[in-house]
Amino acid sequence: MELVHEKTGQNVWVSTITYRPLGNSGLMVSTIGLGCNNFGRPNTQTATQDGTSAVINTAIDAGINLFDTADVYGGSVKGLSETLMGVALKDRRDEVVIATKFGGDMAGANGPDWDARASRRYIRRAVESSLTRLRTDWIDLYQLHRPDGITPMEETLAALGELIDEGKIRYIGHSNLSGWQIADAEYRAKEAGLPKFISAQNEYSLLARGIEAEVLPAINEYGLGLLPFFPLFNGLFTGKYTRGGGPADGRLTSRPEELDSVPWDAMEKFQSFCDERGVTMLDATIAWFLAQPGVSSIIAGATKPEQVLQNAAAGTAWQPTADDLAQISELFPA
Ligand SMILES: NC(=O)c1ccc[n+]([C@@H]2O[C@H](COP(=O)([O-])OP(=O)(O)OC[C@H]3O[C@@H](n4cnc5c(N)ncnc54)[C@H](OP(=O)(O)O)[C@@H]3O)[C@@H](O)[C@H]2O)c1
């Protein structure tokens, strides 16, 4: 919320953001986080250091503390997102929770990996590369980007446990695991006395509700914190697209085939629902997310500082009733 400072007369941003523990842990994260896969992305303001720093500084000033990236993010230059973040966060490291990931294909940047990117051998190399790019001594949340189908989970957990003991990482999470894989990881950690994952990152939005069948029940059973990815469905749920298209610089405008496949009847009903309640589609979407059990932080991406401010404000803009939530869910059946 922007207010006028009573002494200086300048506009100041007053944070209304809220914080939640990430799953069953003491790691407090802002309910609106920042997805960082735009940093280094060509044809966006965040392609550059200045553009990235502006988005990051705006986010921190608005009270956002969770920054989610991955070693592979950065447009066509793998690692560039972490590199840009390292520069931007150099003097603000203590104010933020850095979440990054390993296990995506770095195209040889971490040496040959023979696709076993959850192995101890690979993890030791990957973490050093991320720490160097991020210009930090520690990563707050180190996430397995996806299982490699080769490495036993015990080996991955043991290697991550060594990094925790060495102070290089603080907490561990996973991403793109199925329901049974989440349960299996829990079982193996318990059996072998290894560290447990505290978070899960899976695709989840009003148009992608597949995780509600198996993944979400597992997440809630084991007390994991959910970090839904693509929460705005690439910006669709900001309300800036219509059947006729969207702004020239919007991500989906350059992907007409994806816009064509949007269920526009449901989107238009959702817009009317929001208009009747005097809220934006962004506010209603974020409110729906924050009411879902297990959700810790909505890691929406942003290419401009003003988007960050809108997303941060949406975290507390509207308190839906149970009936409102049910109506939204009915518009977009799982
Ligand atoms: N674990 C995984 O496998 C995985 C996979 C994908 C993503 N992720 C994570 O999830 C995060 C979020 O995903 P995402 O950023 O790709 O998708 P998203 O959050 O669904 O959409 C973000 C995009 O919507 C637009 N936008 C955001 N706020 C807006 C606002 N207030 N007004 C207008 N437009 C707005 C921006 O794009 P434009 O300005 O270009 O329109 C922004 O880049 C990623 O950054 C990443 O951290 C994880």
Instruction: Identify the structural domains of the chain with CATH numbers, from first to last.
Output: 2-331 (3.20.20.100)
Structure-token pair, residue 153: 């989970």
In this prediction, residue 12 carries a pLDDT of 62
Per-residue pLDDT tens listing for the chain (334 residues): 566 767 777 766 566 899 999 999 999 999 999 999 999 999 999 999 999 999 999 999 999 999 999 999 999 999 999 999 999 999 999 999 999 999 999 999 999 999 999 999 999 999 999 999 999 999 999 999 999 999 999 999 999 999 999 999 999 999 999 999 999 999 999 999 999 999 999 999 999 999 999 999 999 999 999 999 999 999 999 999 999 999 999 999 999 999 999 999 999 999 999 999 999 999 999 999 999 999 999 999 999 999 999 999 999 999 999 999 999 999 999 8
Name the residue with the closest Cα to ligand 1, atom 32: 307
In this prediction, residue 169 carries a pLDDT of 98
Distance CA 298, CA 311 (A): 9
CB of 35 within 6 A of ligand 1: the answer is yes
In this prediction, residue 10 carries a pLDDT of 76
In this prediction, residue 4 carries a pLDDT of 72
User: pTM value?
Assistant: 0.96
Residues 156/189, Cβ–Cβ less than 8 Å? no
Structure-token pair, residue 327: 């109506």
Catalytic residue list contains 122: no
In this prediction, residue 13 carries a pLDDT of 56
In this prediction, residue 14 carries a pLDDT of 60
Residues 270/283, Cβ–Cβ less than 8 Å? no
Distance CA 190, CA 213 (A): 24
At 276, which amino acid appears?
A: E
The CA 118 to ligand 1 mean position distance, Å, reads: 26
**Burial level of 2, CB count in 10 A (0-12/13-18/19+)?**
exposed
CB of 45 within 6 A of ligand 1: the answer is no
Q: Which residue has the tokens 């072998």?
A: 192
Q: Is 42 strand, coil or helix?
A: coil
- DSSP code of 99? E
Distance CA 55, CA 74 (A): 15
The CA 171 to ligand 1 mean position distance, Å, reads: 24
CB of 235 within 6 A of ligand 1: the answer is yes
CA of residue 135 relative to chain centroid, distance: 21
- Considering only CA atoms, which of 145, 59, 157 is closest in space to residue 104? 145
Q: Is the dihedral of CA 125, 126, 127, 128 positive or negative?
A: positive
